[in-house]
Amino acid sequence: MARLVMKFGGTSVANVERIRNVARHVRREVAAGHEVAVVVSAMSGKTNELVGWARETARFHDAREYDAIVASGEQVTAGLLAIALQDMSIDARSWLGWQIPIRTDAQHGAARITAIEADELDRRLSSGQVAVVAGFQGLGPDNRIATLGRGGSDTSAVAMAAALKADRCDIYTDVDGVYTTDPRVEPKARRMAKIAFEEMLELASQGAKVLQVRSVELAMVHGVRTFVRSSFEDPDAPGMDDFDNPPGTLICDEDEIVEQEVVTGIAYAKDEAQISLRRLSDRPGVSAAVFGPLAEAFINVDMIVQNTSEDGSRTDMTFTVPAADLDKAVGVLERGKPEMGFDVVQSETGLCKVSVIGIGMRSHTGVAATAFRALAEKGINIKAITTSEIKISFLIDGPYAELAVRTLHGVYGLDKTV
């Protein structure tokens, strides 16, 4: 017998029929003797509808009331799933974030979990009751509902698994695992049986949509073995009840992976924008003067490149931001121009970031050279490069994104069956 947290996303609970299908997945694990907690998202499209209503009511609104509105989608799903399980003669009860409670900080709309008081849930699971928990939400220091930001139900599930000391957290979604790249771009992409936490964190942060970045961070910090699998497979099909080797992808510590490939996957993020500050004053504190206000405006900055002039007095600084944040970022920079000390700000849109990821890079040379050569042969110009121990990212023109992904996927042999 094991303790299991099962998380189901919006497409998995999109209507009552799919909620009944989710209940069959839960019933399978209960029948196997496992203690089960379930974390659910709102029905597909419901959160967008709720957000639209809030914005239609008032363009500028209280973040606390916004959270009260958008958190209601998960409340409905949790109640419906509990009813569906009870209809199958399974002892189940729904829980909202404030009832557990899941404690968060005060950042309404993008709160971070600070603690989970799971003693009562622990007792109920031990007695055989299934807990159906509304994801995406917690209780702020002001004793009001606080939401965790888009994709927050993944974070809720992993945090719940850590608090309950679960043996595993299964993330059910509309894909059947983690692939070497997006199968819609490269049909030869392979589903991986296992991937290390660090690699999954890089894939998620560089554009892969399978898991929310914060959930992977939590899983890595707390050592929560996380399994990505499809909710659309027949819950009672052969092999679905194999706890040790079910269909999907296990995200785990790299020690569990016997033989690590040099490159694990290729990720990409479209709609990147590039900002260049020309003839920026080169002095201590100038980077803080530039990136501090951008951070305060909640603008995510990536791929920073800086060149210093020969006399050391001036520099050019280039970095990327999501295209949706470009106008906002330029506005912040223009307002801070006197303190930052640059001559002109230039920008470019329609770019794409493609990343090569793999823990095996730590012990192998020539990975970057292989990519440079392959992209050059396809006539793809590289505008910027950033690296880490297990990642190389290239900024290229957007129209070349899919060609670059397929080229890199092939040159590292990821299209070959292992």
User: pLDDT (tens digit, 9 = 90+) per residue, 38-89?
Assistant: 999 999 999 999 999 999 999 888 999 999 999 999 999 999 999 999 999 9
The fraction of the chain above a pLDDT of 70, given in percent, is 98
47 is in an annotated binding site: yes
Domains (range + CATH), the chain: 3-254 (3.40.1160.10), 265-411 (3.30.2130.10)
Q: Is the pLDDT of residue 312 over 70?
A: no
C-alpha distance from residue 86 to each of 31, 81, 297, 369, 400 (Å): 14, 9, 46, 58, 52
Residue 209 annotated as binding site: yes
Q: Give the model's confidence band at 418: pLDDT under 50 very low, under 70 low, under 90 confident, else very high.
A: low
With vertex at residue 217, the alpha carbon angle to CA 211 and CA 220, rounded to the nearest 5 degrees, is: 105
Per-residue pLDDT, averaged over 325-330, amounts to 94
Return the structure tokens found at 330.
């330029």
For residues 139 and 196, is the Cβ–Cβ distance under 8 A? no
For 108-166, write each residue's pLDDT tens digit: 999 999 999 999 999 999 999 999 999 999 999 999 999 998 889 999 999 999 999 99
Single-letter residue type at 30? V
Phi, psi dihedral angles at 266 (to 5 degrees): -120, 125
Residue 60: Cβ within 10 Å count: 5
Report how far Cα 70 is from the mean position of its chain's Cα atoms.
19
184 is in an annotated binding site: yes
8 is in an annotated binding site: yes
**pLDDT level of residue 310 (50, 70, 90 thresholds):** low
Does residue 290 surpass a pLDDT of 90?
A: yes
What is the pTM (predicted TM-score) of this model? 0.87
- Please indicate if the annotation marks 174 as binding a ligand: yes
195 vs 244, which has greater pLDDT?
A: 195
Instruction: Return the closest-CA partner of residue 131 out of 28, 1, 26, 2.
Output: 26
Residue 207 has pLDDT above 80, yes or no: no
Q: Does the annotation flag 199 for ligand binding?
A: no
- The answer to whether 7 is annotated as binding is yes
Tell me if 205 sits within 8 A of 269, measured CB to CB.
no
% of the chain exceeding 90 in pLDDT: 73
Q: What is the pLDDT of residue 417?
A: 63
- Does 402 carry a binding-site annotation? no
The one-letter amino acid code at 29 reads E
More reliable by pLDDT, 27 or 212 = 27
5 vs 132: CA distance, rounded Å: 10
**pLDDT (0 to 100) of residue 49:** 95
C-alpha distances in Å from residue 93, one per residue of 31, 202, 390: 17, 36, 43
Question: Could you give the C-alpha distances from 80 to 91, 147, 229, 299, in angstroms and in order?
Answer: 14, 20, 22, 37
188 is in an annotated binding site: no
Beta partners for residue 281, in sequence order:
314
Mean pLDDT of the chain: 92
How much is the pLDDT for 259? Answer: 67
10 is in an annotated binding site: yes
